[in-house]
Amino acid sequence: MNATPANPADGVHDRLERARVASRALATTNGDVKNRALESLAVGVVDATARILAANAADLANGERSGLASGLIDRLRLDESRVAALASAVREIAALTDPVGQTLRGSRLPNGVKIDQVRVPFGVVGAIYEARPNVTIDIAALALKSGNAVVLRGGSAAENTNRELVSVIRDALTSAGLPADAVQTVDDFGRDGATQLMQARGLVDVLVPRGSASLIQAVVTESRVPVIETGAGVVHIYLDESARLDWATQIVHNAKVQRPSVCNAVETLLVHRAAAERLLPSVLSRLTASGVTIHADEAVAALFPDTVPATDEDWGTEHMSLDISVRVVDDLDEALAHIRQHSTGHTESILTEDVAAAERFLAEVDSAVVMVNASTRFTDGGEFGFGAEVGISTQKLHARGPMGVTELTSTKWTVRGTGQVRA
């Protein structure tokens, strides 16, 4: 690993320069070599399971002592199955089509000049995230597949785990004859490393933050590097008048309980007034049986007393815990108005048997992912077939929704002539 220089600015700048050099080599590396490095990474992750878990145990203990939130503790935690899942994700990424060099469109001008738009890597991708060691592997593997170098700032909560993971990644690159400097970390520089990364315009081509709303906002506000914003998830499910009881009970439970600390877990449940009496007792009973606290408006509490009163703040809260806000609305119009006011633009789902209502919901809800009769937990790069994801973009420029290898590329135009000049 890299030694830490006394001057943080000089140290970070040196690593970014080396990442820039490495990115030029990766940009012209063929897919077979990149896939060999990814296979070596998958094997290396599994072989290093014991030391990765030992480092993770130290991070978890530190997190417990420092009062790290339960949602972050869950995201931080690795076990043998989660480590194996990291290796599986790397292999899934290796199996994807290499996007670099793909032609998106092209034509031949009347004068014979041939023009093509092709996919190319960004160059150097920066990532700032917190308490998510899986992101270390996911972003590094996606960056490698798409021909990018990557510079990571994984936060102090996962410092020990990330150190081990980055070591495994760099060894895998070397084993495939690729520069280890294609994956750098600035964790050892602490907050100074993050600050320097955000200011490294010209050395870092794009920056992706992942974490709390406050972390993301800080990066968006302070960065001089272009940012792809991955937003917080105040996620909604709306139970329409015709929603099936069995689907509603199962889907809402899955969306809230399967893993409540993640950004695609449902945070607010809206229910059509005409269906509330039919649906809510079953749906909420299933939730409370799993330990979920219901933050209810008066109409919900009248039907299901085992609740706490919802506050105005609850409707805009990403709980990241076994809590859900529940409100009765008069109709689809009121549901859409509520979502427009409180959504973070991540994921929303409608449960309905009414085709017209479903199509209207799909058309009018302005979020990165809009669903009909499905759990919001499907908003995920792995579930979408990307192997893993860089993040879930809630902005509208360049990328929106789960970001895989294709979203880590830009384009350029190639022009081939035979001596033509412009008249």
Q: How is the chain split into domains, by residue range? A: 8-230+390-416, 235-378
What is the structure's pLDDT at 38? 98
Q: Report the alpha-carbon distance of residue 256 to residue 268 in Å, rounded.
A: 9
Low-confidence ranges of the chain (pLDDT < 70): 1-8
Scored b (16 or more CB within 10 A) or e, 154-193 reads bbbbbbbbbbbbbbbbbebbebbebbbbbbbbbbbbeeeb
Please list the helix, strand and coil fractions of the chain in percent, rounded to the nearest 5, in that order.
50, 20, 30
8-230+390-416 and 235-378, same CATH topology: no
What's the chain's length in residues?
Answer: 423
What is the structure's pLDDT at 215? 87
Q: Report the alpha-carbon distance of residue 261 to residue 276 in Å, rounded.
A: 27
Angle value at C-alpha 74, between 71 and 75, nearest 5 degrees: 90
Q: Report the alpha-carbon distance of residue 342 to residue 166 in Å, rounded.
A: 38
- For residue 401, give both structure tokens: 């929704």
Q: Report the alpha-carbon distance of residue 183 to residue 167 in Å, rounded.
A: 9
Q: Are 173 and 182 in contact (CB under 8 A)?
A: yes
Q: What's the CATH number of domain 235-378, 3.40.309.10, 3.40.1350.10, 3.40.1280.10, 3.40.50.300?
A: 3.40.309.10
What is the structure's pLDDT at 2? 56
For helices 245-257 and 273-289, angle between their N-to-C axes, nearest 10 degrees: 50
The residue assigned the tokens 């490495």 is 22
What is the structure's pLDDT at 259? 92
The answer to whether domain 8-230+390-416 has CATH 3.40.605.10 is: yes
What is the structure's pLDDT at 23? 97
Phi, psi of 220 (to 5 degrees): -60, -40
Q: Report the alpha-carbon distance of residue 27 to residue 263 in Å, rounded.
A: 32
Q: Are 345 and 366 in contact (CB under 8 A)?
A: yes
